[in-house]
Amino acid sequence: MNKNILLGVTGGIAIYKVVDVVSRLKKLDYNIKIIMTDSACEFVSPMTFETIGKCDVKNKMFHKNSHKIVEHIDLANWADLFLVAPASANIMAKINHGIADDLLTSTALAYTKPIMFCVSMNTNMLNNPSTQKNIEELKEKNHLIIDSNSGMLACDTKGDGRLKEPWEIVEEVENYFCKKDLKGKKVLITAGATVERIDPVRYITNDSSGKMGYSIAKKAFMRGADVTIISGKTSVDSPYGIENIKVQSAIDMKEQIESCVDDYDCLIMAAAVSDFKVKNRKDLKIKKQDGIHSLELEENPDILKSLNKKENQIFIGFAAETNNLIKNAEKKLNKKNLDYIVLNDVSKKDIGFNSEYNKVSIISKNQILELDKDTKLNIADKILDLIK
Ligand code: CTP
């Protein structure tokens, strides 16, 4: 069933971003109800939120027919999540001290679960000891504080206090609702394409966009795992909130993995690693008159094959194949000492490299699980079910 989000909107210039938050939450099929404070209505008309959210926007505590329901209690009971954005210094101070002098604060007092506050204010107001104390106390009461970003503020200064971007706030909401069945697991995920330099301006790489690896990382993080990404060249944004160590070549990736893999319960190797590197890489740009017509290549080490898997560790590889799919993947499973290999057919244009979709088979020593074509995010969940 779709979750109910009660959005409390307070007066702050970042309110324009919250209109976008509502639009994004609507597209994800959340049920939305909105309470605006009087100050919020000074910045944006309730009609904007009503139209974008296709939902009720409440403002007044007392109005006609109010005897029919006790609205603030009703709203508090209805919500699966109470999200406050932008969360001003004033609203956090009031809610922390149990002040209930309008519809938003009265509903907050009646709400029994953690409230998610998306902090937004001027840097000096944020750094004020009173605000800091209120934030600490709200955390102690189990409320969720979504810290602000640093950057340009409406008051023409640079600093902390910028409301998180709409997509980041939506990620926080999605994370909140996700089951945390991977809590306690440490997962290392590689993504993207390695890059083998020819000279300072040219390189050899491949078509991997990083989408599959990033989808797995995003889902693992949402499901509560402690996630680290090691990624090569990618063409999509790094997932929100996850440490992402950027590397270039296969050798760089190997060194990074070797330095930390023992600390992880699971390694998922979704990166497309270059099999070859350039033998005599040049430090200066190769000029036309140098007359180079061929490149001498040498083999890169096979990262997975070279690792010493500890007992209890789970290693999952990917097999990018165009022919003899199952047979080739099974060979890699055995040769690289993997627990599972995820086979995908990279000859198909509608799936695999760069696509939002994939169609994979998950192969282990004694089983082949053929999955239907699906989004990379849904496939990520199926892969992560293997390590629960
Ligand atoms: N891989 C690796 N080190 C390499 C090459 C690949 O660890 N030098 C990993 C990939 O990240 C993937 C798996 O091994 O998880 C299979 O990669 P793939 O490119 O399908 O196969 P290769 O082993 O490179 O063999 P081939 O290119 O001959 O198919």
CA 327, 331, 334, 340 torsion-angle sign = negative
Which residue among 252, 255, 256, 269 is best mutated to probe the pocket of ligand 1, counting the most ligand atoms within 8 A of its Cβ? 269
Q: What is the pLDDT of residue 291?
A: 77
Ordered by where they begin, the domains of the chain are 4-177 (3.40.50.1950), 186-387 (3.40.50.10300)
Residue 135, classed as helix, strand or coil, is helix
Are residues 85 and 25 in contact, defined by beta-carbon separation less than 8 angstroms?
A: no
Q: Residues near 385 by Cβ (< 8 Å), separated by ≥ 6?
A: none
Question: In a structure prediction context, what are the per-residue pLDDT tens digits for the chain, which is 388 residues long?
Answer: 799 999 999 999 999 999 999 999 999 999 999 999 999 999 999 999 999 999 989 998 877 666 667 889 999 999 999 999 999 999 999 999 999 999 999 999 999 999 999 999 999 999 999 999 999 999 999 999 999 999 988 888 889 999 999 999 999 999 999 999 999 999 999 999 999 999 999 999 998 999 999 999 999 999 999 999 999 999 999 999 999 999 999 999 999 999 999 999 999 999 999 999 999 899 999 998 887 778 899 999 999 999 999 999 999 999 989 899 999 999 999 999 999 999 998 888 777 677 888 999 999 999 999 999 999 999 999 999 999 9
pLDDT at 305: 97
Q: Distance (Å, rounded) from C-alpha 358 to C-alpha 340? A: 17
- Cβ of 300 closer than 6 Å to ligand 1, yes or no, is yes
For position 66, what pLDDT does the model report? 60
Please give the Cα distance from 40 to 86 (Å, whole number): 9
Residue nearest atom 24 in ligand 1 by C-alpha distance:
275
pTM of the model: 0.90
The reply to whether ligand 1 has any atom less than 6 angstroms from the CB of 261 is no
Residues serving a catalytic function are 155
Which atom of ligand 1 is nearest to 272's Cα? 11
Q: What is the largest CA-CA distance in the chain?
A: 88
